[in-house]
A and B are shown apart, each in its own frame.
Chain A
Amino acid sequence: MMGIDYKVRDAVEALNLKYIRALDRRDMHGWLATFDNPGTYVCIPKENEDRGLPIAYMLDDSYARLQDRVTQVTKIQPDAVEHYQPRHFTQVVDIRPLGGVNYRVETHFTVNYTPDNTGRTDVLATGTYVDEVVVNGEARFRSRRAVLDTNVVPRYVAYPI
Chain B
Amino acid sequence: MTANISLPDTVMEWPAKYNEIPKAVFEEPGLWRLELENIFYGEEWHPIVHRAEIPNPGDYKAAFIGEMPIFAVHGDDGKIRVFHNACAHRGATLITDSAGNKPDFECPYHRWLFSSRGDLVGCPNSHEFSPSFAKEKFGLKELRSDAFSELYFVTMSDKTPDLRSYLTDVVADPLGRVLGNGHGLKLLGYQKVTYDCNWKAYVDNDGYHAPLLHLAFKLMGWQGGKGEQIVTRNGHIAFDSELTIPQKIDALQDSSIVQFKGDPDSKGSIVVSTFPITVFTKHMDMLNIRYAFPKGPRGVEVHYAYFARDDDSPELLAHRTRQCSNLLGPSGLISLEDAAIFTRIDLGNRSPGNAIFQKGVTDEYRLEFNVKQNDESGNLPRWEHYRQRMGFRRAAA
Binding site for B on A (CB under 8 A): 43, 45, 47-48, 51, 53-62, 64-65, 67-68, 71-72, 75-77, 79-82, 151-158
Contacts and interface: CB of A to CB of B under 8 A. Distances in A.
B253 A68 contact: yes
Contacts of A62: 254
Q: Chain B contact residues: over half helix, strand or loop, or mixed?
A: mixed
B188 A55 contact: yes
Pick from A55, A57, A154, A155 the residue with the most CB of B within 10 Å: A55
Contact of A64 (B188, B253, B325, B337): B253
A59 B326 contact: yes
B170 interface: no
Contacts of A75: 219, 251
Nearest to A60: B326
B174 interface: no
Nearest to B347: A117
A59 B215 contact: no
A79 to B, nearest CB: 7
B322 to A, nearest CB: 5
B13 interface: no
Contacts of B189: 48, 51, 53-56
A76 B344 contact: no
B213 A80 contact: yes
Nearest to B334: A76
Given A43-B331, A58-B325, A152 B192 contact: yes
B98 A71 contact: no
Contacts of A68: 252-254, 257
16 contacts: A43-B331, A45-B190, A51-B189, A53-B189, A60-B326, A62-B254, A64-B254, A67-B253, A80-B341, A152-B192, A153-B192, A153-B193, A155-B195, A156-B193, A156-B330, A156-B336
Contacts, number: 118
Nearest to A160: B331
Contacts of A45: 190-192
B331 A158 contact: yes
Contact of A156 (B215, B251, B326, B339): B339
Contacts of A61: 322
Given A48-B190, A53-B187, A156 B340 contact: yes
A124 B98 CA distance: 20
Interface residues of B, number: 39
Nearest to B323: A59
Nearest to B192: A152
Contacts of A152: 192-194, 301
A103 to B, nearest CB: 26
A84 to B, nearest CB: 11
A54 B188 contact: yes
Nearest to A78: B215
Contact of B336 (A51, A64, A81, A151): A81
A55 B215 contact: no
A153 B330 contact: yes
Given A55-B306, A56-B325, A57-B191, A158 B336 contact: yes
Nearest to A63: B253
A112 B253 CA distance: 31
B147 interface: no
Contact of A77 (B98, B187, B253, B336): B336
Given A59-B322, A156-B195, A151 B253 contact: no
Q: Which 8 A-B pairs have the closest CB atoms?
A: A55-B189, A53-B189, A59-B325, A64-B253, A156-B339, A64-B254, A80-B337, A156-B330
B343 interface: yes
Contacts of A55: 188-191, 306, 321, 324-325
A67 B253 CA distance: 7
Interface in B327-350: 329-331, 333, 336-337, 339-341, 343-344
Contacts of B337: 77, 80-81
B35 interface: no
Contacts of B188: 53-55
Contacts of A81: 336-337, 340
A12 B194 CA distance: 34
B106 interface: no
Contacts of A72: 333
Contact of A57 (B99, B196, B329): B329
Contact of A76 (B195, B215, B257, B340): B215
A3 to B, nearest CB: 37
B271 interface: no
A65 B187 contact: no
